[in-house]
């Protein structure tokens, strides 16, 4: 009985020692991993900063205006295109047969706020409401809105590098 | 055992005699007492240890099972990591980046560690072709132990240099302030020192401390898109009329937030001390750096001319000295001392208050001011903030110039904006108060959260404000600013063309032409000021360089471009509601002379 007890305690001590060893090394590995991830996080944050700056540089109004002139030739929105706000367009009478359901993303864009409560098929989205005339002026800010796909074939721009090079020129 | 030894060491014992190895005889009672003592001691020790182990166990259970989750955030390793703190970014009202700080490593070398200077130079020039190989080679073979090769590399250049794998090339971590939009908002955002990124101009300078301390982006009231339109159109005016410069400001009439502020010529805050020689071949007209850095809107003070008739008329109407139906004799010039006050396009008759304003009569305005008196005039301009330094988040702010003492001749000239010089910023802030219902808010460059209206002081009554809106609309409909009309946006305003006062006398050919307006006039949302410095008439403007021919048409174009951006919906200007809201009763039914 006494010997059995001794064996039990010895085994227990060995097992706990082994567990401790494994946990310690496990933790150490995790610490290393954590340090690595942290370093990477900081690097990514710095990179995001650079990318934000580059995005701003590439979307500056002067450049967009230039690209617009080069590729799409959109003009500033004319006053006559804005004679009505979307809220002034009357709702379709409910008794009429429902219009074909518009694509979801268009209905979201063009629906006046007060129509949100109506069932989807009664949304006052007609072809008229979807013309540029009725869209919100801000969404159609042609002079400086980001230029759509048409601007893709831009010659590869060096972007930030170019500007950095300019700045560095004075050193 | 002790007792055995003791017995064995009996000195009287014969040498050969060894006592039998047996315990000394102790009585049962003695033994029991000793055993009891041992047991007690053992027990006490065991209990003590047990208590300690139980405590440790309980504490473990407490940490792991109960308070573990709460304690975790206190661990250093659980704290979120952030990139090293930097100067805060500056963004516009739509969160577009106006200024940011980027990591910008600089390349240096230790020539002692360079193994093959020729090869290193060759390799480096493949990556950084702009460097002069001969110079680099000389540096790399010098006896120094530290030479700068290139400061402020881009991340890509740093990667390329690293990939060369040349021992002895090292990077020094540096930060540099970067302005993605370049010239666009140069005077507002300002610029920083290229050595330690300390703000030297604009908001960068005025809010330097807060930009250093806080790391959340600083949001300005500017709208980069509106700023672009304003700058674009003003640049066009400068070019068209070969002017020395131009300036413009657009302000929210309800909150006095500055939505756009432009002063031309301007500069690129990325290199505020002027472009380096090789960037521009030196064949451009030299513009002095100090002219570029000068912010005409806040630091300039101009005699704004007839624009001041807005304040003069508002003062007369608000104090009850004049009403919309009263009138003054403008048939003859006023002679006072050695001065003669006359009208630019005189009507030579008795004029009513709306007519004085519409035809911009100096004589009528002067008579109106004299009727009100110097104290009232000075007090009114003071209340509008036109006699003290403007309070805005910029250090480049001028102090207005006004006459001391305030004589009768000054009363007359100030009525039509001469003899008093204020900054365009203060003028716009005051006009915003005149048209918005009479509440003056201090101008601000920081975004006011949507829906909250800042505290302001009432400077004129709502009724006077309404009358002033009607009068300003009249100027665009029939008066000097017809070219400022932007169909659908109900523009109203006032032109002012003043000769520059250079060293005490007025230069006839050097004009400052100003238009200040607001739109839509039935419920003003934005106030806009455009000013052009020393314009020259063109054939298209029939030789005129006055405000009506220079900045008024530019304002019309600006408003038509920015109104859709700012969400101002155009209205039918001839609709009954609009005409009724802006009709001047005293002129109703009368034939209005053309200006």
Q: What is the spatial distance between Cα B400 and Cα B57, in angstroms, rounded to a whole number?
A: 78
List the structure tokens of B231. 């700058």
Are the CB atoms for B517 and B474 separated by under 8 Å? Answer: no
pLDDT digit string (tens) for B165-175?
888 888 888 88
Task: Return the pLDDT at A140.
Answer: 39
CB of A70 within 8 Å of a chain B CB? The answer is no
Task: Return the pLDDT at A160.
Answer: 61
Rounded to a whole number, what is the distance in angstroms from the first to the last CA of chain A? 87
Task: Return the pLDDT at B499.
Answer: 87
pLDDT digit string (tens) for B356-390?
998 899 999 999 999 999 999 999 999 999 999 98
Q: Indicate the fold that domain B90-219 takes in CATH.
A: Penicillin-binding protein 2a (Domain 2) (3.90.1310)
Q: What is the spatial distance between Cα B201 and Cα B269, in angstroms, rounded to a whole number?
A: 9
Mean local confidence (pLDDT), B74-100 = 80
Helix pair angle (B374-383, B309-318), 10° resolution: 110
Are the CB atoms for B332 and B347 separated by under 8 Å? Answer: no
Exposed/middle/buried for residue B87 (C-beta within 10 Å: 0-12, 13-18, 19+): buried
Contact B271 A167 (CB under 8 A): yes
Contact B569 A85 (CB under 8 A): yes
Q: Is B129 left (phi over 0), alpha (psi -120 to 50) or beta?
A: alpha
Q: Is residue A97 part of a domain?
A: no
Contact A143 B150 (CB under 8 A): no
- pTM of this structure: 0.76
Q: What chain B residue is nearest to A138 in terms of C-alpha separation? A: B565
CB of B181 within 8 Å of a chain A CB? The answer is yes
Contact A171 B180 (CB under 8 A): no
Could you say which of B153, B225, B487 has the minimum Cβ distance to residue A61?
B225
Residue A115 CA, chain-centre distance (Å), reads 27
Mean local confidence (pLDDT), B271-288 = 54
| Domain spans in chain B, listed from the N-terminal domain onward | 90-219, 231-266+297-587
Are residue A70 and residue A106 in the same domain, yes or no? no
Contact A79 B102 (CB under 8 A): no
List the structure tokens of B183. 């010239």
Q: What chain A residue is nearest to B571 in terms of C-alpha separation? A: A83
Mean pLDDT of chain B: 86
Q: What is the spatial distance between Cα B594 and Cα A88, in angstroms, rounded to a whole number?
A: 37
**Neighbouring-strand partners of residue B517:** B493, B528
How many angstroms separate the CA of residue B371 from the nearest CA in chain A? 44
Contact A53 B102 (CB under 8 A): yes
Residue B48 burial (CB count, 10 A): 10
pLDDT digit string (tens) for A22-58?
999 999 999 999 999 999 998 898 888 889 999 999 9
Are residue A63 and residue A131 in the same domain, yes or no? no
Are residue A64 and residue A3 in the same domain, yes or no? yes
Residue with tokens 């665009």: B476
Contacts of B103 in chain A (CB under 8 A): 46, 49-50
Q: Domain span at residue A17?
A: 1-74
B231-266+297-587: CATH architecture: 3-Layer(aba) Sandwich (3.40)
Could you say which of A57, A77, A79 has the minimum Cβ distance to residue B180?
A57
Q: What chain A residue is nearest to B81 in terms of C-alpha separation? A: A38
**Neighbouring-strand partners of residue B334:** B341
- Give the Å distances, CA to CA, from B103 to A70, B85, B303: 34, 11, 46
DSSP secondary structure code for residue B401 in this structure: B
DSSP alpha helix (H) spans, chain A: 2-58, 61-67, 104-110, 160-168
Q: How confident is the model at residue B78 (pLDDT cuts 50, 70, 90)?
A: low
Are the CB atoms for B244 and B117 separated by under 8 Å? Answer: no
CB of A93 within 8 Å of a chain B CB? The answer is no
pLDDT over threshold 80, residue A4: yes
Task: Return the pLDDT at A28.
Answer: 95
Helix pair angle (B408-415, B374-383), 10° resolution: 50
Q: Which of B104, B221, B256, B306 is catalytic?
A: B306
Q: What is the spatial distance between Cα B186 and Cα B266, in angstroms, rounded to a whole number?
A: 7
Task: Return the pLDDT at B508.
Answer: 76
Q: How confident is the model at residue B347 (pLDDT cuts 50, 70, 90)?
A: confident
Comparing CA positions, the residue from B459, B469, B403 lying closest to residue B435 is B469
CB of A42 within 8 Å of a chain B CB? The answer is yes
Task: Return the pLDDT at B20.
Answer: 67
pLDDT digit string (tens) for B414-444?
999 998 999 999 999 999 999 999 999 999 9
pLDDT over threshold 60, residue A64: yes
The reply to whether B221 belongs to the active site is: no
CB of A143 within 8 Å of a chain B CB? The answer is yes
Domain count, chain A: 2
Q: Is residue A149 part of a domain?
A: no
Q: What is the spatial distance between Cα B51 and Cα B584, in angstroms, rounded to a whole number?
A: 97
Are residue A106 and residue A61 in the same domain, yes or no? no
Q: Is residue A148 part of a domain?
A: no
Are the CB atoms for B514 and B297 separated by under 8 Å? Answer: no
CB of A30 within 8 Å of a chain B CB? The answer is no
Q: Is B401 left (phi over 0), alpha (psi -120 to 50) or beta?
A: beta
pLDDT digit string (tens) for B539-593?
888 888 888 899 999 999 999 999 989 988 888 888 888 888 888 877 766 666 6
Cα maximum dimension of chain B:
160
Share of chain A above pLDDT 70, in %: 51
Q: Which of A44, A47, A143, A165 to mutate to test the interface with B (most CBs of B within 10 A)?
A: A143
Could you say which of A42, A65, A82 has the minimum Cβ distance to residue B81?
A42
Are the CB atoms for B519 and B487 separated by under 8 Å? Answer: no
Comparing CA positions, the residue from B93, B276, B98 lying closest to residue B192 is B98
Residue B463 CA, chain-centre distance (Å), reads 34
Task: Return the pLDDT at B117.
Answer: 85
Contacts of B567 in chain A (CB under 8 A): 136-138
pLDDT over threshold 60, residue A113: no
Q: Is residue A153 part of a domain?
A: no
Q: How confident is the model at residue A77 (pLDDT cuts 50, 70, 90)?
A: confident
DSSP secondary structure code for residue B311 in this structure: H
**Neighbouring-strand partners of residue B328:** B351
Task: Return the pLDDT at B197.
Answer: 84
List the structure tokens of B317. 């109407």
Q: What is the 3-state secondary structure (H, E, C) of A92-126?
A: CCCCCCCCCCCCHHHHHHHCCHHHCCCCHHHCCCC
Q: Is B197 left (phi over 0), alpha (psi -120 to 50) or beta?
A: left
Q: How confident is the model at residue B275 (pLDDT cuts 50, 70, 90)?
A: low
Q: Is residue A146 part of a domain?
A: no
Are residue A109 and residue A61 in the same domain, yes or no? no
Are the CB atoms for B182 and B220 separated by under 8 Å? Answer: no
pLDDT over threshold 80, residue B288: no
Q: How confident is the model at residue A119 (pLDDT cuts 50, 70, 90)?
A: very low
Q: Is residue A31 part of a domain?
A: yes
Task: Return the pLDDT at B297.
Answer: 92
pLDDT over threshold 60, residue A145: no
Q: How confident is the model at residue B493 (pLDDT cuts 50, 70, 90)?
A: very high
Q: Taking a contact as any Cβ pair under 8 Å apart, which residues of chain B between 67 and 96 contact chain A?
A: 77, 81-84, 96
Task: Return the pLDDT at A2.
Answer: 80
| More confident of the two residues B141 and A153 | B141
Comparing CA positions, the residue from B366, B367, B403 lying closest to residue B387 is B403
Q: What chain B residue is nearest to A60 in terms of C-alpha separation? A: B181
**Neighbouring-strand partners of residue B258:** B251
DSSP secondary structure code for residue A169 in this structure: T
DSSP string of B407-447, one letter each residue: -HHHHHHHHTT-S-BB-HHHHHHHHHHHHTTSEE---BSBP
Are residue A107 and residue A51 in the same domain, yes or no? no
> Which of A103-107, B192-196, B302-306, B530-534 is the least confident region?
A103-107
> Which of A132-146, B143-157, B263-277 is the least confident region?
A132-146
The SS3 call for residue B135 is helix
Mean local confidence (pLDDT), B321-337 = 88
Are the CB atoms for B581 and B572 separated by under 8 Å? Answer: no
Q: Residue B358 contacts by C-beta under 8 Å, 6 or more apart in sequence?
A: B471, B474, B475, B478, B479, B480, B592, B595
Q: Which of A23-27, B70-74, B265-269, B342-346 has the highest mean pLDDT?
A: A23-27
pLDDT over threshold 60, residue B283: no
Q: Is residue A169 part of a domain?
A: no
| More confident of the two residues A101 and B419 | B419
List the structure tokens of B426. 């203060």
Q: What chain A residue is nearest to B274 in terms of C-alpha separation? A: A170
pLDDT over threshold 80, residue A138: no
Mean local confidence (pLDDT), A157-161 = 58
Are the CB atoms for B426 and B390 separated by under 8 Å? Answer: yes
Q: Is B436 left (phi over 0), alpha (psi -120 to 50) or beta?
A: alpha
Mean local confidence (pLDDT), B311-335 = 91
List the structure tokens of B461. 């009554």
DSSP H/E element including B252: strand B245-252
CB of A49 within 8 Å of a chain B CB? The answer is yes
pLDDT digit string (tens) for B8-52?
566 677 777 766 667 766 678 888 888 999 999 999 999 999 999
How many angstroms separate the CA of residue B100 from the nearest CA in chain A? 7
Q: What is the spatial distance between Cα B517 and Cα B113, in angstroms, rounded to a whole number?
A: 67
Q: How confident is the model at residue B150 (pLDDT cuts 50, 70, 90)?
A: confident
| More confident of the two residues B556 and B136 | B556
Main-chain dihedrals φ then ψ at residue B219, nearest 5 degrees: -100, 120
Q: Is residue A19 part of a domain?
A: yes
| More confident of the two residues A9 and B282 | A9
Contacts of B194 in chain A (CB under 8 A): 170
Q: Taking a contact as any Cβ pair under 8 Å apart, which residues of chain B between 417 and 456 contact chain A?
A: none
Task: Return the pLDDT at A31.
Answer: 92
CB of B488 within 8 Å of a chain A CB? The answer is yes
**Neighbouring-strand partners of residue B506:** B501
CB of A166 within 8 Å of a chain B CB? The answer is yes
Q: What is the spatial distance between Cα A104 and Cα A106, in angstroms, rounded to a whole number?
A: 5
Mean local confidence (pLDDT), B268-276 = 74
């Amino acid at each position: 009985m006494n010997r059995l007890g001794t064996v039990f305690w010895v085994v227990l001590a060995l097992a706990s020692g082994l567990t401790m060893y494994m946990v310690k090394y496990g933790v150490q590995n995790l610490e290393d991993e954590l340090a690595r991830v942290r370093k990477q996080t900081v690097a990514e944050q710095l990179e995001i900063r650079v990318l934000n700056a580059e995005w701003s540089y590439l979307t500056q109004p002067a450049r967009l205006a230039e690209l617009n002139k080069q590729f799409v030739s959109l003009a500033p929105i004319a006053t006559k295109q804005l004679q009505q706000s979307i809220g002034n367009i009357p709702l379709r009478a409910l008794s009429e047969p429902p219009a074909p359901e518009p694509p979801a993303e268009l209905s979201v864009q063009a629906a006046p706020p007060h129509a949100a409560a109506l069932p989807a098929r009664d949304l006052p989205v007609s072809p008229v409401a979807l013309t540029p005339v009725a869209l919100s002026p801000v969404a159609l800010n042609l002079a400086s809105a980001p230029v759509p796909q048409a601007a893709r074939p831009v010659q590869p721009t060096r972007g930030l590098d170019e500007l950095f090079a300019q700045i560095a020129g004075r050193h | 055992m002790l007792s055995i030894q003791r017995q064995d060491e009996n000195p009287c014992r014969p040498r050969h005699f060894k006592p039998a190895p047996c315990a000394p005889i102790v009585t049962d009672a003695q033994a029991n007492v000793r055993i009891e003592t041992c047991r007690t001691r053992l027990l006490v020790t065991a209990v003590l240890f047990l208590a300690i182990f139980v405590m440790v166990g309980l504490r473990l259970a407490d940490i792991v099972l109960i308070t573990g989750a709460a304690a975790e955030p206190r661990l250093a390793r659980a704290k979120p990591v952030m990139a090293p703190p930097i100067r805060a970014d500056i963004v516009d009202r739509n969160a577009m980046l106006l200024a940011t700080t980027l990591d910008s490593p600089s390349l240096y070398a230790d020539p002692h560690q360079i193994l093959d200077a020729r090869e290193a130079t060759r390799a480096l020039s493949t990556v950084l072709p702009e460097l002069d190989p001969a110079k680099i080679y000389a540096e790399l073979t010098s006896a120094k132990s530290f030479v700068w090769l290139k400061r402020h590399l881009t991340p890509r250049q740093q990667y390329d240099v690293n990939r060369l794998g040349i021992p002895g090339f090292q990077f020094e971590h540096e930060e540099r302030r970067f302005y993605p939009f370049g010239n666009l908002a140069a005077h507002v955002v300002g610029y920083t020192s290229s050595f330690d990124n300390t703000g030297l101009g604009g908001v960068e300078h005025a809010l330097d401390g807060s930009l250093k301390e806080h790391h959340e982006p600083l949001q300005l009231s500017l709208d980069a898109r509106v700023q672009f339109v304003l700058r674009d159109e003003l640049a066009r005016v400068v070019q068209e009329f070969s002017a020395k410069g131009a300036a413009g400001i657009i302000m929210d009439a309800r909150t006095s937030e500055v939505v756009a502020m432009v002063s031309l010529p301007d500069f690129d805050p990325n290199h505020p001390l002027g472009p380096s020689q090789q960037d521009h071949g030196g064949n451009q007209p030299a513009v002095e750096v100090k002219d570029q850095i000068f912010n005409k809107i806040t630091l300039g003070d101009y005699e704004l001319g007839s624009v001041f008739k807005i304040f003069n008329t508002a003062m007369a109407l608000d104090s009850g000295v004049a009403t919309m139906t009263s009138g003054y004799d403008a048939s003859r010039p006023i002679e006072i001392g050695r001065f003669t006050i006359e009208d630019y396009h005189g009507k030579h008759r008795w004029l009513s208050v709306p007519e004085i304003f519409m035809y911009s009569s100096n004589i009528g305005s002067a008579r109106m001011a004299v009727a009100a008196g110097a104290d009232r005039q000075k007090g009114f301009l003071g209340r509008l903030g036109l006699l003290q330094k403007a309070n805005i988040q910029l250090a480049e702010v001028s102090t207005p110039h006004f006459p001391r003492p305030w004589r009768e001749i000054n009363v007359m000239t100030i009525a039509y904006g001469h003899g008093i010089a204020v900054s365009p910023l203060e003028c716009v802030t005051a006009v915003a108060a005149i048209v918005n219902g009479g509440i003056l808010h201090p101008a601000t460059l920081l975004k006011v959260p949507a829906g909250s209206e800042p505290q302001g002081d009432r400077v004129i009554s709502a009724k006077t404000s309404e009358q002033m809106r009607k009068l300003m609309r009249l100027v665009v409909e029939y008066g000097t600013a017809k070219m400022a009309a932007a169909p659908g946006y109900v523009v109203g305003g006032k032109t002012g063309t003043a000769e520059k006062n250079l060293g005490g006398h007025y230069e006839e050919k050097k004009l400052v032409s100003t238009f200040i307006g607001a739109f839509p006039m039935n419920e003003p949302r934005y106030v806009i000021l455009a000013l052009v410095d020393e314009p020259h008439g063109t054939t298209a403007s029939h030789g005129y360089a006055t405000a009506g021919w220079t900045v008024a048409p530019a304002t019309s174009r600006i408003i038509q471009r920015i109104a859709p951006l700012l969400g101002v919906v155009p209205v039918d200007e001839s609709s009954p509601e609009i005409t009724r809201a802006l009709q001047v009763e005293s002129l109703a039914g009368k034939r209005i002379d053309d200006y």
